[in-house]
Amino acid sequence: MTDHHNKKIPLVRLENIYKSFSSNLVLKGVCLEVHTSEVVALIGGNGAGKSTLMKILMGIYTPNSGTIEINGEKMNLNNPSIAHSQGIYLVPQEPMLFPNMTVEENILIGFNTNQAELKEKVEQLIKRLGWSLSLSRLANTLSIAEQQLVEILRGLLREAKVLILDEPTSALTFAEIKSLFQLIKELKSEGVGIFYITHRLSEVFEIATDVAILRDGIVTLKGPVNDFDEARLIQGLLPPQTVTKEIDTREDVKKTVDTDKTQPIMEIKDYSGYGFNSINLNVYPGEILGIAGVVGAGRTELAEAIFGLGDVTGGKILLDNEDITGKQVSEVIKKGLNYIPEDRYLNGVFTLADVKSNMTASVLKWLSKVFLHSRKEKDITQRYIKEFRIKVTGQDQTMKSLSGGNQQKVIISRILSTDPKVVILDEPTRGIDAGARGDVYRIIHELKNKGLAVLLISSDLEEVVLLSDRVVTMYHGRINHRFAGSDINLDHLMAASFGVYEDRGK
């Protein structure tokens, strides 16, 4: 009887959690719980709020409203040490190790108990898992996968009652995943409750007891895993149908390049590097080629490598029949390829400089070797301010005083002023309000109409459906499907991004 009673009081209950960052509401009244011996799989697209929710449970963020109960008692988790003392531990997606410490030091840091005992425990754990990880190695010599193992060991050593695993398998090998799953099953039998964030739907059915889908800050579906199949999960991940209808009416702007008659402007052949493998792609002038996939699929790594920012281990890239593999960024820009990164602040914008210098930054080298033609600089700037309806008080307004949408327009202008043949846009509308989004879409269409090839990387599948003439999806670093025409729809792209697309026509 008692067992039944215990089942009723969850280890953790999150009740009506709201969280916003400035004006952006990320969680909208989320309710979620985990009981002893449960593995709750948490799935959702990029930006659905999964990691934010778990960081709230860890005390890293404070919710705007809502309550957290641990073993039936309301708790105020306003910093991670309180969460740890309650037996809650998060294994983060991005490992946070001290690079100059050894594996052992990284694992044992923060424990007040006998270090020799702990060390023995760690060694037993590693042995039990069958992982090969030397405790004396420095953290900065570890691969991402090995760093993740260290984070997992840290959590296990804390004898967590609630373990949160955020995308734990994204960097692990097949053998490591197998031993991790074995471990999860053991922990489950020992009564540990686990929140398991994943993009891999197959894993949900392999190890979860329950599943919850988070979409746009709301739990849209939850229940025992046995009540679901992959098709139903995909349905829960999709936005409500009304939105889809609105988008599909814009099919008329799509066009298919006649690939038999047209020469590709860029050819990517058997291209491999960190985070992606054996990529083959032809990109044609006057088309928007969408690259869809979930976080960790390798899209940004591919884009950076094409642009000369990442390591290439094999294959080559031809731009207008010229081999540009492994060339310097400045060289690649000169040849006609440019890239607008996802993180505008890190890579794209000189926030303190004014609009004019930001727009013409890439062009200055061409304008004059000796001195700068300020007349020409002003002309270029004026042309784009007008053409892109950029809201500025004048060319000398500083970038950081512009809205996100206008900053993005300035950056696109800067890229265009180099007169590229191919432009890679990585998350072009992230953090931009709805009005400016329409403007950015219009600009992207204009690029296409001018005959440029646009490579569009976006986690917003509606955006990919709306804009792309062709789409490839990436999954675990490879292209797993290609879509054109009416096959470009949310259902197909969502299923392919999560690796479960089946072509019914075949």
User: Which pLDDT belongs to residue 259?
Assistant: 63
Confidence at residue 365, expressed as pLDDT on a 0 to 100 scale: 47
Q: Is the pLDDT of residue 72 over 50?
A: yes
Please report how the helices 374-387 and 404-416 are oriented relative to each other, as an axis angle in degrees rounded to 10.
Answer: 130
Give the chain's end-to-end CA distance (angstroms, integer): 53
**Per-residue pLDDT tens for 45-60?**
766 788 889 999 999 9
d(CA 476, CA 470): 20
Provide DSSP, 227-255.
Answer: G--HHHHHHHHSPPHHHHHHHHGGGGG--
Mean pLDDT of 304-333: 88
The per-residue pLDDT for 435 is 62
Q: Can 2-237 and 241-336+421-429+440-497 be said to share one CATH topology?
A: yes
Q: Which pLDDT score, from 0 to 100, does residue 243 have? A: 41
- Tokens 């304008």 label which residue? 367
Q: Locate the domains of the chain by residue range.
A: 2-237, 241-336+421-429+440-497, 343-419
296 close to 45: Cβ distance less than 8 angstroms = no
User: What percent of the chain has a predicted confidence (pLDDT) above 70?
Assistant: 81
Q: In what order do the strands lie in the sheet with 88-91?
A: 88-91, 162-166, 193-197, 39-43, 210-215, 218-224
> Which has the minimum average pLDDT: 55-59, 66-70, 97-101, 175-179?
175-179
Question: Predicted confidence band at 70 (pLDDT cuts at 50, 70, 90)?
Answer: very high
Q: Is pLDDT larger for residue 439 or for residue 116?
A: 116
Supply φ then ψ for residue 211, to 5 degrees.
-140, 145
Say whether pLDDT at 207 is over 70. yes
What is the pLDDT at residue 227? 93
pLDDT for residue 351? 44
Residue 85: predicted pLDDT: 87
Say which DSSP state 429 is in: T
pLDDT, residue 128, reads 81
Architecture per CATH, 241-336+421-429+440-497: 3-Layer(aba) Sandwich (3.40)
- Choice between 16 and 180, residue whose per-residue pLDDT is larger: 16
> Which carries the bigger pLDDT value, residue 476 or residue 94?
476
Give me the chain's average pLDDT, please.
81
Q: Kindly tell me if the per-residue pLDDT of 304 is higher than 70.
A: yes
Higher pLDDT pick, 234 / 433: 234
- Residues, the chain: 506
Which of 48, 43, 96, 497 lies closest to 298 in space, CA to CA? 497
Residue pair 208/40 in contact (Cβ under 8 Å)? The answer is yes
CATH topology of domain 2-237: Rossmann fold (3.40.50)
- Quote the tokens at residue 347: 């890579």
Of 17-26, 170-179, 244-253, 487-496, the least confident: 244-253
Report the distance separating Cα 381 and Cα 366, nearest Å: 15
Residue 257: per-residue pLDDT: 64
Question: Mean pLDDT lowest for which of 265-269, 386-390, 400-404?
Answer: 400-404
Give dist(CA 466, CA 448) in Å, integer. 14
Kindly indicate the confidence band of residue 261, based on its pLDDT and cuts at 50, 70 and 90: low
How does pLDDT run across 339-383, given as a tens digit for each residue?
887 765 444 444 445 555 555 555 444 433 333 456 666 777 777
The model's confidence at residue 225, banded by pLDDT at 50, 70 and 90, is very high
Question: DSSP code of 354?
Answer: B
Contact 388, 439 (CB under 8 A): yes
The sheet with strand 73-75 has its strands ordered as 24-34, 12-21, 65-70, 73-75
Is pLDDT at 242 greater than 70 in this prediction? no
Q: Rounded to two decimals, what is the model's pTM? A: 0.63
3-state secondary structure at position 38: coil
Residue predicted with more confidence, 131 or 357: 131
pLDDT tens profile 444-495: 888 888 899 999 998 888 889 989 999 999 998 999 999 998 899 888 998 8
Specify the pLDDT at position 454.
94
- Residue 319: per-residue pLDDT: 93
For residue 414, the model assigns a pLDDT of 73
- Residue 407 in this model has a pLDDT that exceeds 90: no
Residue 18, pLDDT score: 94
pLDDT value at position 292?
93
Q: Is 124 exposed, middle or buried (0-12, 13-18, 19+ CB in 10 A)?
A: exposed
The whole-number pLDDT of residue 358 equals: 55
| Confidence (pLDDT) at 369 | 37
Q: Is 3 a residue whose pLDDT tops 90?
A: no
pLDDT band at residue 29 using 50, 70 and 90 as cut-offs: very high
Give me 5's structure tokens: 């009673």
Report d(CA 425, CA 373) in Å as an integer: 29
